[in-house]
Amino acid sequence: MQLSMWTYPWDIQDQGLERVLSDVTGKSGLNTVSLATSYHAGHFLQPRSPHRKSYFPEDGTVYYRPDPDLWAGKSITPQMARNVTERGDMLEQLIRARDDGGPKVSCWTVCLHNTRLGMMHPDHVTRNAFGDPNHYNLCPSSPAARDYVITMVRDITSRYKPDMVELESPNFMGFVHGYHHEKDGVGLTAEDDFLFSLCFCDHCRLGARQAGVNIDGAQAKVREFLAAMCEREIPERQFADFPARGIDAFRDHPELFEFLAWRSEPVTSLIRDIRDQADAASKVVLIDLKDGFMGGVDLKAAGKVCDGAIVCGYDMNANGVAELMKDARAALGPDKYLGTGFRVFYPEMANAEALAVRASAAAVAGADGINFYNYGLIPEKRLDWVRKAIERVSG
């Protein structure tokens, strides 16, 4: 079973590689490190760092050394974080440690969630039904954005040879996502957020039209729903069975439903192209959530074009985790990698037993791996929670 800890490069630099490897394999009982190799902005509390207690990473940078020849002439190119120059290439060090008998290495790779690049390339970001740009989300229908992600994973796998690449956000993102000083005075419902997240950029409009979709009718219907939402005194749900029914909740609106059915195509084809151009020695898996359809993910279709998925069991009890794994296995099939992920955060995890029960439920339901979030964000004593969870899974 693959047992991993999501980790940031600066955590390794602050703690030291030897200490991190000891914590991961010894204290926690894991066999893999999932290192952030492409990441977005954030503000992180660092409870164990001897150098700082708060950290702001650069926005939209990569934590490896890109091959300049591979990126020559590309429209969208990566920016290597200053962290790599100033404090070292942690991916390279982890790969060397693996080759010397250390834990396996997985590259936790953020794909289209990139505000820095979105600001630089506004013609390649998602746009809502009113044409407003979502600068934090490059669009999976954009040829240039697709080429950026495909080349990045090819670059990482061909140069470093990780055991796995974990694709985060190769899809459409929600309207509400924790952006800096995000404001909502209306009180968006889940359906409102979903409708606002639907992309009608030029690239999506072209792709949908070529597929025979009535994109103008779909856009007009979404505008109608959102305009009505903006006029209400208080929030009111229009689709009581959303998100439980997925896109079927919109079947009474044919143009919109047809568009939503098409919307998974650019996501699936992007994942396929990433897998096709990545080094064959590295597995390529998708990181997804329970209602992945909201981002345009068709897990069954995606499973056919990559090596599997990590479907995170956040905010779920043990029964929910078991059901999640059962449904994901049915979608992926018996031969693809199926992992899950848990945040070792309080109060989501109240104690070691709460984590152990969920991890055990995932394993019993057929998970091939478990990732824990996140090495640098939790107190050291919670590594013992991870160890106890692994002991429960092994037992």
Could you read off the pLDDT of 16-69 as tens digits, one per residue?
Answer: 999 999 999 999 999 999 999 999 999 999 999 999 999 999 999 999 999 999
222 and 350 co-located in one domain: no
pLDDT at 234 over 90: yes
CATH number for 55: 3.20.20.80
The total domain count for the chain is 2
Residue 27 burial class via C-beta count within 10 angstroms: exposed 0-12, middle 13-18, buried 19 and up: middle
pLDDT at 177 over 80: no
Beta-bridge partners for 17: none
115 and 241 co-located in one domain: no
187 and 135 co-located in one domain: no
Give residue 140's pLDDT band: very low, low, confident or very high (50, 70, 90): very high
Instruction: Assess whether the previous peptide bond of 243 is cis (omega < 30° from 0).
Output: yes
pLDDT in tens, 117-126: 999 999 999 9
What is the per-residue pLDDT for 180?
A: 76
What is the per-residue pLDDT for 179?
A: 74
Is pTM, for the whole model, over 0.95?
Answer: yes
Neighbour count for residue 328 (Cβ, 10 Å): 27
61 and 140 co-located in one domain: yes
Give residue 259's pLDDT band: very low, low, confident or very high (50, 70, 90): very high
What is the per-residue pLDDT for 330?
A: 98
Give residue 348's pLDDT band: very low, low, confident or very high (50, 70, 90): very high
Last residue of a domain, one of 262, 287, 317: 262
Summary mean pLDDT of the chain: 97
Q: What does the alpha-carbon distance between residue 172 and residue 112 come to, in Å, rounded to a whole number? A: 8
25 and 144 co-located in one domain: yes
pLDDT at 231 over 80: yes
Last residue of a domain, one of 247, 262, 277: 262
What is the per-residue pLDDT for 176?
A: 83
For residue 369, the enclosing domain spans 2-172+266-394
- Percentage of the chain beyond pLDDT 90 is 96
Last residue of a domain, one of 204, 239, 262: 262
Give residue 308's pLDDT band: very low, low, confident or very high (50, 70, 90): very high
293 and 383 co-located in one domain: yes
